[in-house]
Amino acid sequence: MDNIIDTVSSDDAQKRRTANYNPNIWDYDFLESIRNEFVGDTCKRRVEKLKEDVRHMLINNNEMVILTQLDFIENLQRLGLEYHFEKEIKGALDASISIVNNSGILDGDVHATALWFRLLRQHGCFVSQDVFNSFIDETGNFMTSLSQDAKGMLSLYKASHLALVGENMMDKAKAFSSRTLKDLQGNMDPYLAEQVSNELEVPYHWRMQWWEARWYTNVYERKEHINPTLLELAKLNFNMVQATHQGELKEICRWWKNEDLAEKLSFGRHRIVECLLWAVGIVFEPQYGYLRKSLAKILNLILLIDDVYDIYGTFDELVQFTDAVDRWDDKKIERLPEYMKICFVELYRTTDEFTSGIQKDQNKKIMTHLKKVWTDFCKALLVEAKWYNSGYSPSLKEYLDNAWISSSGSILLVHAYFAVAHDRNVDEVGFLETNRDLLYYPSMILRLCNDLGTSVAELERGDNPSSILCYMKEVGVSEERAREHIKGMIVESWKKMNENCISHSSHLPPMFFNISYNIARVSHFVYQHGDGVAVQDHDTRNNVLRLLVQPIHLHLDKIHSI
């Protein structure tokens, strides 16, 4: 391998290529014109009143049986309201452990058992798969009598995606519930059937949380016996948080316009709106606006630098740029071509701006870690460029050993760590470096989802091989078989992520694990129907409109009259 790479020389530098990306579809004036009515003191006061009412329902659980409380917590979660009630939810789940263990109150109820199992594991608590033993028959399989319980099967299917590596019972739970739900789909009430269809397409544990909040609010409204307080809070909260995101969208678009990157770097993808949408998927809560805006800028830079390595730069130029990032000195970039100077200066300035916004007394330590993840990213992209220029075809393992780094997941995670760990020792990032699984598996899911969504377009352009092509060549299988293999790798990566969330939950901020999950979730969201970054039409456009532009319908007159 090294010999092959070493033979690459300046004589091999090809003419500059182009990906023929379509221009950005979002008009600046349109984005500036967005207005949101759900701002101001009246809406804030109403939200606070609704929150107190919901909090009262949640903590006064003497009259609330445990299953009702668990369903209530799940609705809070799915409606995007969980962050308002973290303390109360933790208290309720902690209390449920002794209640369930001492009373056997969930025995015989597959829905209740699966829901309890899933909620606890999502919050970093280990619950043994043995809680499902009572649903196993003498052959070691799930009882066939359970197949008439559609609600229970849906809960079991959701729970199965919180499996850890080696949990065979959870694998059986997934296969059994999936098969049963497909058989029952034609005989369910519409409310349940819609959720089953959505779950089988992308499981809840893998779905982008803020998209789920919008989607589930619409579904919940059509449910029988809804909680009107919960529904009103969900709608008003979504619209008010959306107003926060819209302000950030305008701010980030002004930055993008002022930097004039679309004109200066016309060869690349200019998807600043989609970058903010991606950042919202990683962390939607309104108090993390600084991180969200930083991530949008970082994602924009990742796309442009990726296009430099994949599309536009000659091999010699890429070597120079990688060296410049490694040296991290904006005074020594005179040898770079002009477009690379622009990229480097933007990277240097954005990183410095990020460190200036957090833990100012520790900027030097923070910068050391940020420089490392950017340098590792560029070095991984350079390896891929060497492969392309030399015509080398790596094995799947060789490709993935490099590609999890070039996915950029580590860049996002390390920046996020510093933004959510204000009151912790900055050197704790060393814990991430010595426990690379915490960075590896979210990055791997990002890489594999990216490959599934973009491999067709990249093959047409003649870009570097993807995991799909590597596996096809190595094993000699069809593209369809290769895709199934990659999907299986995603499932196993999720199991490892679940394991990390439980085993390391006491070492790092809980929000860090939520962000780790969300990076994987937004990867499914962005690449579910193809390349949701380069291609802005259809699904991507609609996602932007529903999450960043269009509020949920809610009568303001009702709020003002209360």
3-class SS of residue 136 = strand
3-class SS of residue 194 = helix
Residue-level pLDDT at 170:
97
Residue-level pLDDT at 457:
59
Please write the tens of the pLDDT for every residue from 367-404: 888 999 999 999 999 999 999 999 999 999 999 999 99
Tell whether the model's pLDDT for residue 490 goes beyond 90. yes
Closest CA to 273 of 289, 259, 256: 256
* Six-digit token string for 334: 């005179």
Yes or no: say if 418 and 366 are a contact pair by the CB < 8 Å rule: yes
Q: Give the separation between CA 374 and CA 324, rounded to whole angstroms.
A: 11
Residue-level pLDDT at 459:
60
Tell whether the model's pLDDT for residue 240 goes beyond 70. yes
- Alpha carbon separation from 485 to 321, 465, 467, 470, 499 (Å, rounded): 35, 16, 10, 12, 22
pLDDT band at 7 (very low <50, low <70, confident <90, very high): very low
Single-letter amino acid code for the residue at 24: N
* Six-digit token string for 518: 């969300």
Yes or no: say if 467 and 448 are a contact pair by the CB < 8 Å rule: yes
- Residue 251 makes CB contacts below 8 A (sequence gap 6+) with 293
Average pLDDT of 535-546?
A: 83
Yes or no: say if 227 and 247 are a contact pair by the CB < 8 Å rule: no
Tell whether the model's pLDDT for residue 191 goes beyond 70. yes
Residue 477: phi and psi, rounded to 5, are -120, 170
Average pLDDT of 419-431?
A: 67
Q: Give the separation between CA 419 and CA 293, rounded to whole angstroms.
A: 12
Average pLDDT of 127-152?
A: 94
Please write the tens of the pLDDT for every residue from 441-464: 999 999 999 999 886 655 655 557
Residue-level pLDDT at 495:
98
Q: Give the separation between CA 548 and CA 273, rounded to whole angstroms.
A: 9
Residue-level pLDDT at 362:
55
Yes or no: say if 36 and 246 are a contact pair by the CB < 8 Å rule: yes
Average pLDDT of 103-128?
A: 92
Q: Give the separation between CA 326 and CA 77, rounded to whole angstroms.
A: 42
The one-character DSSP state at 187 is G
Yes or no: say if 350 and 301 are a contact pair by the CB < 8 Å rule: yes
Element (H or E) spanning 157, and its range?
helix 150-160
Closest CA to 394 of 472, 308, 486, 480: 472
Average pLDDT of 54-73?
A: 82
Closest CA to 160 of 168, 149, 171, 147: 171
End-to-end alpha carbon distance in the chain = 71
Residue-level pLDDT at 429:
64
Residue-level pLDDT at 562:
53
Q: Give the separation between CA 366 and CA 363, rounded to whole angstroms.
A: 5
Yes or no: say if 336 and 344 are a contact pair by the CB < 8 Å rule: yes
Q: Give the separation between CA 79 and CA 90, rounded to whole angstroms.
A: 17
- Alpha carbon separation from 363 to 36, 367, 432 (Å, rounded): 37, 6, 18
Counting residues of the chain whose pLDDT is more than 70, the rounded percentage is 90
Element (H or E) spanning 43, and its range?
helix 41-59
Please write the tens of the pLDDT for every residue from 211-235: 999 999 999 998 888 999 999 999 9
Q: Give the separation between CA 284 and CA 170, rounded to whole angstroms.
A: 30
pLDDT band at 12 (very low <50, low <70, confident <90, very high): very low
Average pLDDT of 233-256?
A: 96
> For 393-531, which CATH superfamily applies?
Farnesyl Diphosphate Synthase (1.10.600.10)
Range of lowest pLDDT (5-19, 28-42, 94-108, 192-206): 5-19
Residue-level pLDDT at 9:
41
Residue 488: phi and psi, rounded to 5, are -65, -35
Residue-level pLDDT at 150:
95
Tell whether the model's pLDDT for residue 1 goes beyond 50. no
Q: Give the separation between CA 281 and CA 520, rounded to whole angstroms.
A: 10
pLDDT band at 276 (very low <50, low <70, confident <90, very high): very high
Q: Which residue has the higher pLDDT, 539 or 495?
A: 495
Residue-level pLDDT at 8:
42
Residue-level pLDDT at 4:
37
Residue-level pLDDT at 198:
94
Yes or no: say if 442 and 534 are a contact pair by the CB < 8 Å rule: no
Residue-level pLDDT at 190:
87
DSSP lists the bridge partners of residue 142 as 136
Q: Which residue has the higher pLDDT, 11 or 249?
A: 249
- Residue 27 makes CB contacts below 8 A (sequence gap 6+) with none
* Six-digit token string for 525: 């969201």
The structure tokens 């990306």 sit at 21
pLDDT band at 5 (very low <50, low <70, confident <90, very high): very low
Residue-level pLDDT at 99:
85
Cα 64 to its chain centre, rounded Å, is 34
Q: Give the separation between CA 389 and CA 1, rounded to whole angstroms.
A: 13
Yes or no: say if 79 and 281 are a contact pair by the CB < 8 Å rule: no
Instruction: Give the CATH architecture of domain 60-226.
Output: Alpha/alpha barrel (1.50)
Residue-level pLDDT at 396:
97
Residue-level pLDDT at 11:
42
Rounded to two decimals, what is the model's pTM? 0.92
DSSP lists the bridge partners of residue 136 as 142
Return the domain boundaries, the chain: 60-226, 393-531
The structure tokens 């940020």 sit at 370
* Six-digit token string for 294: 């930083």
Tell whether the model's pLDDT for residue 336 goes beyond 50. yes
Q: What mean pLDDT, rounded, does the chain reach? A: 89
The structure tokens 């990906």 sit at 19
Tell whether the model's pLDDT for residue 53 goes beyond 70. yes
Q: What is the 3-state secondary structure (H, E, C) of 76-112?
A: HHHCCCHHHHHHHHHHHHHHHHHHHHHHCCCCCCHHH
Residue-level pLDDT at 216:
97
Average pLDDT of 150-161?
A: 97
Residue-level pLDDT at 106:
84
